[in-house]
């Protein structure tokens, strides 16, 4: 929203409701703009392979889908904690560096944003390492080239038998009567 439009809204509110309500409206408007269209910057903590937190704000990294934290994969007959591995990969990419995220919207009470560390796109890094998948429904295949490179190299999840995270969620987080027919349990 442009500054002139914001000022017009505040002027209208002031004319109708007076000063105190205008101050309240201005505060709410700026908090809303901060949460939806702002830039968040700071030291991040990692929740899982595609979610971080900067301060009190939870941020879902735009354009990718990582395996869920409790999700496991199979490699050479062994069960691998691939959800934990994805979280560790994201933590290694970020390290103790400052993360900058630009909000693109909201999903499940989280900000969705593109995030960078030291000028590097975090989603591209996770996809290139094979620790997250391109989410073309949202990214319009923006990270498809990175995913293809990881798949060709056989790195990360591409070196394991990994279930698509969306299907894993459908089979493990939904009530049994709402799960797809091909779920094994």
Domain residue limits at 4: 1-37
Q: Tally the domains of the chain.
A: 2
Residues 49 and 31 in one domain: no
- Domain for residue 60, yes or no? yes
Residues 120 and 167 in one domain: yes
Residues 30 and 104 in one domain: no
Q: What is the 3-state secondary structure (H, E, C) of the chain?
A: CCHHHHHHHHHHHHHHHCHHHHHHHHHHHHHHHHHHHCEEEEEEEEEECCEEEECCEEEEECCEECCCCCCCEEECCEEECHHHHHHHHHHHHHCCCEEEEEEEEEECCEEEEEEEECCEEHHHHHHHCCCCEECHHHHCCCCHHHHHHHHHHCCHHHHCECCCHHHHHHHHCCCHHHCCCCCCC
Q: What pLDDT shows up at residue 14?
A: 60
Residues 88 and 173 in one domain: yes
Which whole number is the average pLDDT over 88-94? 98
Q: What pLDDT shows up at residue 142?
A: 96
Interval 125-184: pLDDT, tens: 999 999 999 999 999 999 999 999 999 999 999 999 999 999 999 999 898 888 999 987
**Taking the mean position of all CA atoms in its chain, how far away is CA 23?**
33
Q: What is the mean pLDDT of the chain?
A: 87
Q: In CATH, what number is assigned to the domain containing residue 111? A: 2.40.50.90
Q: What pLDDT shows up at residue 76?
A: 96
Residues 104 and 144 in one domain: yes
Interval 5-19: pLDDT, tens: 455 655 565 666 666
Interval 35-90: pLDDT, tens: 445 899 999 999 999 999 999 999 999 999 999 999 999 999 999 999 999 999 99
């Amino acid at each position: 929203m442009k500054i002139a439009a914001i000022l017009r809204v505040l002027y209208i509110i002031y004319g109708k409701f007076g000063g105190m309500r205008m101050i309240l409206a201005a505060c709410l408007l700026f908090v809303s703009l901060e949460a939806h269209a702002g830039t968040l910057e700071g030291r991040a903590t990692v929740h899982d392979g595609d979610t971080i937190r900067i301060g009190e704000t939870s941020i879902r990294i735009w354009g990718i889908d990582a395996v869920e934290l409790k999700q496991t994969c199979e490699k050479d007959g062994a069960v691998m904690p691939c959800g934990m591995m994805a979280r560790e990969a994201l933590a290694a990419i970020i390290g103790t560096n400052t993360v900058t995220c630009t909000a693109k919207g909201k999903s499940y009470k989280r900000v969705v944003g593109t995030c960078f560390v030291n000028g590097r796109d975090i989603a591209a890094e996770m996809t290139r390492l094979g620790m997250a998948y391109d989410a073309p429904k949202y990214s319009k295949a923006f990270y498809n080239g990175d995913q293809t490179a990881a798949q060709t190299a056989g790195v990360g999840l591409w070196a394991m038998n990994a279930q698509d995270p969306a299907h894993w969620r459908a089979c493990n987080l939904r009530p049994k009567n709402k799960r797809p027919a091909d779920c094994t349990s």
